[in-house]
Amino acid sequence: MALDDTKGLNSLGFAKPPSETRVVVAMSGGVDSSVVAAMLAEEGYDVVGVTLQLYDHGAALAKKGACCAGLDIHDARRVAEEMGFPHYVLDYENIFKDAVIDEFADSYLAGATPVPCIRCNERVKFKDLLETARDLDADCMATGHYIQRKMGETGAELHSAADANRDQSYFLFSTTAEQLDYLRFPLGHLKSKDETRALAAKYGLAVADKPDSQDICFVPNGNYASVIEKLRPGAAEPGEIVHSDGRVLGRHDGVIHYTIGQRRGLGIGGLSEPLYVVKLDVDSRRVIVGPKDLLATRTIPVREINWLGDGSFDAGAEHHVLVKVRSTRPPREAIIRPLSATEAEVELLTPEEGVSPGQACVFYESTGSRILGGGWIWRGH
């Protein structure tokens, strides 16, 4: 449906015909963003497709399950040709390296477990690309993310996707209110990925059966350590694996090979109790291991908070919410205690295991689907 006759607004929320509404579609070459572009083109919108080349063309050409390079650029261009709208490829390689890859490497070396996909959305797609969309005189920018934008009493609100299995709200918490005014997420209401693939088939798109992207786009096969070693040669210095009671249990080849909560592959066999990585001490090059109960965390310091709830985020107030501390974990009941406009202490009502610096802590309203913002976990317990 291109026009909402009850309000005189088109499906993107503008009081004018689709043909007079320009929308830039961020096209990764995958099925989701391709369907968004095809759907809007079919509805009659003035669609402009934009694909970002984020890292080296040659290295990524043959890689399956990546995005924003090689084959994906070709696939995005082909969709634009099939549907008859213009398509541009923008070389964002330097921006991506400066804004995402370098911080990922430095954060990992500092013992954190970073989430570069969030930084990419925040610093590249929803910042530089969004500015490009404005430069192209677009009324809005649409993406293939599974998240919903709904109008509330005070403006646009961010809500979880209808399909909980596809929901990407954890990766989009840092979207600002100003960006949300300009963004559109046409797939957020779909109940399953099958619906998206059915739409792709309906539009005759060659990417209808293309597999979903896996892993972080610039980290082949999920092997973080090998990427860090390439980016920061010599950074993986050996050191000791130490029990939380002080016993030295063995040696390791670099802190970057370990993550908080890890149990397998520690290289310290023959012990009677199962041990987990409970802390990474980068300064002394020590991997601290201990029993599972040491992983339980109740209080989490959070900073760089982006608040999307009603009213201001003021020190002294308390917010009873649900929070996610990992993208794969269900939301848990918590109390947010703001310390400033961008810092807070989050108290989990039930302790959570494996809370790691560098991960995001995302806030959800305790009843309903609204995302209230979130921030970054910044030191261990």
Q: What is the mean pLDDT of residues 150-170?
A: 95
Q: Is the pLDDT of residue 177 over 70?
A: yes
- The residues assigned a catalytic role are 120, 217
Query: For the domain that residue 359 is a member of, what is the CATH number?
Result: 2.40.30.10
- Judge contact between 158 and 44, C-beta under 8 A: no
Per-residue pLDDT reduced to its tens digit, 275-298: 999 999 988 999 999 999 999 999
Domain count along the chain: 3
SS in 3 state form for 281-322? ECCCCEEEEECHHHHEEEEEEEEEEEECCCCCCCCCCCEEEE
Q: Are residues 210 and 255 in the same domain?
A: no
Query: For the domain that residue 247 is a member of, what is the CATH number?
Result: 2.30.30.280
- Judge contact between 223 and 207, C-beta under 8 A: no
Per-residue pLDDT reduced to its tens digit, 236-266: 889 999 999 999 999 999 998 898 999 988 8
Q: Are residues 86 and 154 in the same domain?
A: yes
Give the amino acid at 103.
Answer: E
Q: Which range marks the domain in which residue 350 is found?
A: 296-377
229 is a domain residue? no
Q: Are residues 91 and 133 in the same domain?
A: yes
- Judge contact between 312 and 322, C-beta under 8 A: no
Q: Are residues 39 and 182 in the same domain?
A: yes
Q: Which two tokens stand for residue 193?
A: 């990925």
pLDDT category at 56 given cuts 50, 70, 90 is low
Q: What is the mean pLDDT of residues 101-119?
A: 90
Evaluated on CA atoms 44, 28, 215, 180, the torsion sign reads negative
Q: Are residues 313 and 275 in the same domain?
A: no
Report the percentage of the chain scoring pLDDT > 70.
Answer: 93
Per-residue pLDDT reduced to its tens digit, 133-154: 999 999 999 999 999 999 999 8
- Judge contact between 95 and 131, C-beta under 8 A: no
Q: Name residue, tokens 């249990």.
A: 249
Please state, in angstroms and rounded to a whole number, the distance separating the CA atoms of residues 16 and 14: 6
Q: What is the mean pLDDT of residues 43-67?
A: 73
pTM listed for this prediction: 0.90
Output phi, psi for 183, to 5 deg.
Answer: -90, 155
What is the full DSSP assignment across 13-59?
S-SS-GGG-EEEEE--SSHHHHHHHHHHHHTT-EEEEEEEE-S-HHH
272 is a domain residue? yes
Per-residue pLDDT reduced to its tens digit, 183-198: 999 999 999 999 999 9
